[in-house]
Chain A
Amino acid sequence: MKQPYPFAAIVGQEEMKQAMILTAIDPSLGGVLVFGDRGTGKSTAVRALAALLPPIDVVEDCPVNSARRSDCPDWAEIRSDTVVTRPTPVIDLPLGATEDRVTGALDIERALTRGEKAFQPGLLARANRGYLYIDEVNLLEDHIVDVLLDVAQSGENLVERDGLSIRHAARFVLVGSGNPEEGELRPQLLDRFGLSVDVASPGDIDDRVEVIRRREAYDHDHAAFMLRWQAEDAAIRERIVAARAALRHVRTPDAVLRDVAQLCLELGTDGLRGELTLLKAARAYAAFRDDTALARTHVRATAPAALRHRLRRDPLDEAGSGARLARAVEDVFA
């Protein structure tokens, strides 16, 4: 398998790239939802994301990527204290995955051959402290969505099945992509995504030509292409690491807090999650920009992604949520 296409080499799609960088800076933001038509580079961007993420330290052999031995779940029976550095896990949750595979289940092999009751960790265990990617997330089956909602809420995966009673940490960033023409996402799941972006094919012919050229270069002259762009990927990664450290020191003036609250009030977003996410996103953006205090520009730049999917839907409104959002932003920041 080839190395994935470099993140920095993606032409345009600035909002999508920005959203992915923000969640890499502050994973507690709660993930990114990318909606758009086919062939707009959604999956390319998600697969490229892995290269941007700083590696994490994990206890060797720990099935849930624990940082310390004391965090390892009992059932894993970890003996070693060795800590190794691994790339941040980006785990694919394929459509049609069974619940067993997602949550983990009784280890069939050991049950059948040795008669032992042992737990076989699932995708949620592997995604702990990393990313869980769901392509075509709007087609995900309901019972899997239920599992995800529960786990994303509690940060813990509780398996009560096959006579097992197992729990382990499962904190992950959800990244989903899909095509809105094929069906809507359940609002509860929509809410779990911190940021959402709509992507479309670039309408500018130069951009389109550039996409094709780079892709050709990637396929044709792979080594040179990767060499050139990996350096840029590394530069972005360094900025992310620096921003992570700077995040704590970003000051939040009260005036900006009021702006954020005012904006959410204006839009009538449900609950307080909108405000909190917008604030976090704006702070991460400020840290990425090397700014020490939160300002209106930061809120402005992140408001669409943080609030777009939280507006109460008015089915009879033709303009859609984008226009309403832009209007509200203009009003509040006038």
Chain B
Amino acid sequence: MGDAGRSAWSRAACVRDLLAIDPVGLGGVVLRARAGPVRDTFLAGLTDLPAPVIRLPPTTMTDRLTGGIDVTATIAAGRRVSGSGLLEGAGAAILPMAERLRPDLAVHIARAMDDCGLCVIAVDEGIDEDAAPASIAERAAFALHLADIAMADIHGPATGAPALARARRRLAAMQSAPELAAPIALAAMRFGIDSLRAPLLTLRAARAHAALHRRDAVEEPDLLAAVDLVLSHRVTHLPDTEATDLPTPPPGGTESAGADTDRIAPSDMLVEAVRANLPADILDRLAERASRTARGAGSGARRKGNRRGRPLPARPGRYDGSAAIDIVATLRAAAPWQTIRARTARTRRAVHVMPSDIHLKRFEEKSDRLLIFTVDASGSAAFARLAEAKGAVELLLGAAYARRDHVALIAFRGTGAELLLPPTRSLVQTKRRLAALPGGGGTPLAAGLACAMDLAIAAGRRGMTPAIALLTDGRANIALDGAADRERARADATRTARALAGQGCSTIVVDMGNRPEPDLAELGRTLGGHYLPLPRADAHRLSGAVAAALGT
């Protein structure tokens, strides 16, 4: 791993020290790392966090966070026993598997970060697009990728507790430095960082960094280190160089920023500091992030949906916090035994309830539906068709509010398929994405189907019920590997269709060609779904037909 790994570790060690110095002000860190010795070393070094440090696995129940009645203890004691909430008085929280954190838990934790200064170490083991909830990542100053660090890269002794304590005292005595706000805000703006928490956290990180390096005021190196650590992972676009950039900074900024230029790094220097440390694949990551926000950024829509519903009769069970107690059923179960229990009990009570009487509430679940539009954007499908497909997606989504439907859009053209709109319920996002749907090229039907299948399987894992609508007008002519071979393309398409049929999700093939295409009817049969020839469909007819066929 060499130099890159070593410098990554230096950053990580620096973050660790800064968090120890100002855990409340900095909010915490999102660690993206799989389990392993590097992560363990990092976490083991986090000894100087404010006590008590609690661990919140993603399965933690909400009522454990906020406190509430402890039913088992209450029955045993015969008086109310409330459990105190885990968050109450906690100084720091470690969130293992933060990418699996439920949105309702994330809201509580984010609230505690705001109100009680909880410091959060979110350990995100996500692969690809899974990520820690945005509401927490937003409030935590730092984000670290430990994946590129090998054990051999770990170097240098950890900063000792006495040194950290000295730094904390130094920080407490440090004057606030309002003149730093301008260059930091300007730098953040030029990287397209909209949130105002980012520059604030940068300022605090700079102060903590100064304290760590035994300075009484923030100096240039502190500021440079802080923008790198806090801003570089929030970048949403790269600042344009020189010419295009000129109009933005001067009007408002010059007056306040200009005065400070002599003493402290101007924002240009900060921009360079951020840019210098951006990873080489930043553009890919930006694209990845865009698709992440589209999907709800972890704080919503994704995993929710099917937890409650129509009540079913209560069942006896052990209370473990995962289900609510049905009081009436519990008391009913206990009723016949009252006389006997009263005779044998040592204490006098109005009601004798034993743990075995407890009945739990149950609900019938129904999961959210995901409509996956797989649209042929090849040259033959022409732009008009594409526009109709876009319109149909928007109409269906517009009508999907009450049904809790989600919509995704895949386009295939040229040599492959692309997920244009990750599953979403947001009209805002949909419009933005659909506006820029390109067309032209061959018809890689198999690739489109494969992409739809991947998405359907992923959605199924998240507890959604996927349904696929394939909109095309012609025959496959591009094979899975991108070769322009009609025969292989057809075979590939049939094979993928068979695999997709095995997934058991409902499908509809909409034939948008001028004449019905026998191949597509065959494909519809292979998929085990509907086939619908619909020449000259407009957006309204299309959405109506799809909705009817898929039974929405």
Interface residues of A, Cβ cutoff 8 Å to B: 1-2, 37-41, 43, 94-98, 100, 105-106, 108-109, 111-116, 135-136, 138-139, 141-143, 162-163, 179-184, 186-187, 200-201, 204-206, 208-209, 211-213, 215-217, 219-221, 313, 315-316, 318
Q: Do the beta carbons of A182 and B296 come within 8 Å of each other? A: yes
Q: Do the beta carbons of A136 and B80 come within 8 Å of each other? A: no
Bound-state Cα–Cα, A21 to B12, Å: 46
Among B176, B195, B300, the residue within 8 A (CB) of A183 is B300
Among A114, A182, A316, the residue within 8 A (CB) of B391 is A316
Residues of B within 8 A of A211 (CB): 196
Bound-state Cα–Cα, A116 to B349, Å: 12
Q: Do the beta carbons of B80 and A113 come within 8 Å of each other? A: yes
- Interface flags for B75-117 (1: CB within 8 Å of A; 0: not) read 1001110000000000000000000001111011001001110
Q: Do the beta carbons of A115 and B296 come within 8 Å of each other? A: no
Q: Do the beta carbons of B176 and A220 come within 8 Å of each other? A: yes
Could you list 16 further interchain pairs (A-B, Cβ under 8 angstroms) beyond the known A96-B103, A108-B74, A112-B74?
Answer: A39-B195, A39-B196, A95-B104, A100-B324, A109-B80, A111-B351, A113-B74, A136-B135, A136-B300, A139-B103, A181-B426, A204-B252, A205-B251, A208-B189, A216-B203, A315-B391
A109-B69, A113-B74, A183-B301 known; A315+B394 contact, CB < 8 A: yes
Q: A-B pairs with the 7 shortest C-beta distances?
A: A96-B104, A39-B195, A115-B351, A315-B394, A205-B252, A115-B350, A212-B181
Among B138, B182, B307, B401, the residue within 8 A (CB) of A209 is B182
Any A CB within 8 A of the CB of B294: yes
Q: What are 24 pairs between A and B in contact, CB < 8 Å? A: A41-B196, A94-B104, A96-B103, A96-B104, A96-B107, A100-B324, A108-B69, A108-B71, A112-B327, A113-B78, A136-B103, A139-B103, A180-B426, A183-B296, A183-B426, A186-B401, A205-B182, A205-B189, A206-B256, A212-B196, A215-B196, A216-B200, A316-B391, A318-B431
Among A96, A112, A205, A316, the residue within 8 A (CB) of B353 is A112
Q: Do the beta carbons of A114 and B195 come within 8 Å of each other? A: no
Q: B297-341: which have CB < 8 Å to A?
A: 297, 299-301, 304, 307-309, 324-328, 331
The bracket for how many chain B residues form the interface is 35 or more
Any A CB within 8 A of the CB of B367: no
A39-B195, A212-B196 known; A114+B350 contact, CB < 8 A: yes
Any A CB within 8 A of the CB of B425: yes
Bound-state Cα–Cα, A186 to B401, Å: 6
Q: Do the beta carbons of B203 and A112 come within 8 Å of each other? A: no
Q: Closest chain A residue to B429 by CB distance? A: A181
Q: Do the beta carbons of A43 and B114 come within 8 Å of each other? A: yes
Residues of A within 8 A of B404 (CB): 142
Q: Do the beta carbons of A38 and B185 come within 8 Å of each other? A: no
Bound-state Cα–Cα, A115 to B351, Å: 5
Q: Do the beta carbons of B308 and A143 come within 8 Å of each other? A: yes
A205-B253, A208-B185, A221-B176 known; A135+B107 contact, CB < 8 A: yes
Bound-state Cα–Cα, A318 to B296, Å: 21
Q: Do the beta carbons of B349 and A212 come within 8 Å of each other? A: no
- Interface flags for B175-207 (1: CB within 8 Å of A; 0: not) read 010100110111011000011111110010000
A96-B102, A143-B308 known; A219+B25 contact, CB < 8 A: yes
